[in-house]
Amino acid sequence: MPPSSSGLGHLSFKEAAGIRVPLGPSLKMAAKYIIGSIVGSFAIAYVADNLVADQKIFGGTTPHTVSNKEWWEETDKKFQAWPRTAGPPVVMNPISRQNFIVKAGSES
């Protein structure tokens, strides 16, 4: 039985098949291609989003209900005015208001 690289007498699949994998330069090249492809895919996604959503290459317009701040404020007032029967009033969209309450520990 040929000696294993682990020294335990067990051969890995690559060792048993006689496959030698150089780890130095090939990993650097692999990282270069992986990082480059990720950056490239984000660039393509940004350009596509800009063309479709902002420049509207397929036509269309932004709805008045989205672009008009006054309309949004009135809609928000209506959402906050809805009666609740289950408990105290809550903010309908806490993410946009950023008013999270973080408790330091359990109160007993």
What are 66-77's pLDDT values in tens digits?
888 999 889 888
Cα-Cα-Cα-Cα dihedral sign, residues 65, 69, 72, 78 = negative
Cα within 13 Å of Cα(38), Cβ side: 5
Q: Is residue 2 part of a domain?
A: no
Q: Is the per-residue pLDDT at 51 higher than 90?
A: yes
8 vs 63, more confident: 63
Distance CA 12, CA 10 (A): 7
User: With pLDDT > 70 as the criterion, what percentage of the chain qualifies?
Assistant: 54
What does the pLDDT read at residue 2? Answer: 54
Q: Concatenated DSSP letters for 10-69?
A: PPPHHHHHT-----HHHHHHHHHHHHHHHHHHHHHHHHHHIIIIIS-TT-----HHHH-H
Q: Is residue 80 part of a domain?
A: yes
CA 61 to chain CA centroid, nearest Å? 27
69 vs 4, more confident: 69
Q: Is residue 39 part of a domain?
A: yes
The rounded mean pLDDT for the chain is: 76
Domain residues for the domain of 45 are 13-97
Domain count of the fold of the chain: 1
